[in-house]
Amino acid sequence: MRKLFKKGERVRSKIDGRVMEVLRYLKNNLVEVMTFDPQSKEVRTKQVREDKLSKAA
């Protein structure tokens, strides 16, 4: 398995365009990411497939 992103790297979601931070790899193509929600002022974590992410500029 080739990992496209490193831990702590900023990535952009192809689904909704949010910038996220990579926390860790879970399975083959699953990545756990952290994002900040400005409306509720919460940090949220979720699992996203690796092919739904791209490097943030």
Residue 32 lies in a domain: yes
∠ CA 14-27-32, nearest 5°, is 50
Determine the pLDDT at residue 13: 93
Q: Which residue has the higher pLDDT, 37 or 33?
A: 33
Residue 22 lies in a domain: yes
Q: How many domains in the chain?
A: 1
Residue 50 lies in a domain: yes
Residue 25 lies in a domain: yes
> Over the chain, what is the mean pLDDT?
91
Using CA of residue 28, residue 29, residue 31, residue 37, what is the dihedral sign?
negative
CB burial string 23-36: b at 16+ within 10 A, e below? eebeeeeebebebe
- Give the range of the structural domain holding residue 28, as residue numbers without chain letter: 10-55
Can you give the pTM of this predicted structure? 0.82
Structure token pair of residue 56: 């943030």
User: Does the pLDDT at position 53 exceed 80?
Assistant: yes
CA 6 to chain centre: 11
Residue 1 lies in a domain: no
Residue 21 lies in a domain: yes
Residue 3 lies in a domain: no
User: Does the pLDDT at position 50 exceed 90?
Assistant: yes
At 7, is the pLDDT very low, low, confident or very high (cuts 50, 70, 90)? very high
User: Does the pLDDT at position 23 exceed 80?
Assistant: yes
Residue 2 lies in a domain: no
